[in-house]
Amino acid sequence: MNNNHRNGEPAYRRIQNAIRKRIESGKLRTGDLVESERELAKIHRVSLMTARHALTDLAREGIVERRHGAGTFVAPPKIHFNKLMSYSEQMASRGLSARSQIVRLSASEMNPEIAARLSLPSSTSLTVIQRVRRAADEPFAFETCYLSAGEFPGLASPALERSSLFLTLERDYGLTLAYADEEIDATDADQRTADLLAIPRGTAMLRIRQLIYSSKGTPTIYVVGLYRSGRHTLLIRRFR
């Protein structure tokens, strides 16, 4: 049997999938050393060139970092923002499983400023969902979502820890999300954010404020996301 193609799958992909699964399961964490090309070739019974191919591709994707003279290490998770995607979809695009921890749920908040952003009367009750976002078992973002409580009754549910907000809105409320206007700037972590993300207070954060519109052009969700700045690559595609 050709070890470079088993069950129709190229050997370098088998190696990559094995490494990804170990990262997802927490067996390999950010900063951990990954086996060398020679060790991987021996474990998977492939050529040195095949093992090198596997690690080179993973490094290109940002899954691992190759440090000359030191070895290959698990890289911090990074997200490329180039289309409107849910957190679950963003993580899947990086080969990682999405995990969330809900830290606050409310379906009765009054916030005239946020209501105005959503083109709603100032007295509108808002559903507020605050979640800590995790990847590779590491907290790296704190996100607050605001929606009309009247338009989306029953949305504030602990089940959102296990499901995508975008998919829930599409499946349960028949909403199609189309595009978002974003404001991106830098800020410092306050004490609550620092505690939730296990970082020092004052740590530099990437703040992304999104006003997400439905396919009918109606502003539907307002999101404030605070991201650990060292965990993200911002990729913007501009069309003329």
What pTM was estimated for this model as a whole? 0.61
Quickly state the pLDDT bin for 96 (edges 50, 70, 90): low
Look at residue 78 in the predicted model and tell me its pLDDT. Answer: 64
87-231 maps to CATH 3.40.30.10: no
Look at residue 47 in the predicted model and tell me its pLDDT. Answer: 94
Dihedrals φ, ψ of 89, to 5°?
Answer: -70, -40
Q: Is the pLDDT of residue 162 over 60?
A: yes
Mean pLDDT of 117-140: 88
The amino acid occupying position 156 is A
Q: Is the pLDDT of residue 123 over 60?
A: yes
Q: Is the pLDDT of residue 94 over 50?
A: yes
Task: Count Cβ atoms below 10 Å from residue 37 Cβ, excluding itself.
Answer: 22
Look at residue 1 in the predicted model and tell me its pLDDT. Answer: 39
Tens of pLDDT along 195-212?
A: 999 999 999 999 989 999
Residue of 48, 47, 43 whose CA lies nearest to 19: 43
Look at residue 115 in the predicted model and tell me its pLDDT. Answer: 95
Q: Is the pLDDT of residue 222 over 60?
A: yes
What is the rounded average pLDDT for all residues in the chain? 83
Q: Is the pLDDT of residue 97 over 70?
A: no
Look at residue 119 in the predicted model and tell me its pLDDT. Answer: 94
CATH fold label, 5-74: Arc Repressor Mutant, subunit A (1.10.10)
Query: What residue ranges do the domains of the chain occupy?
Result: 5-74, 87-231
Quickly state the pLDDT bin for 62 (edges 50, 70, 90): confident
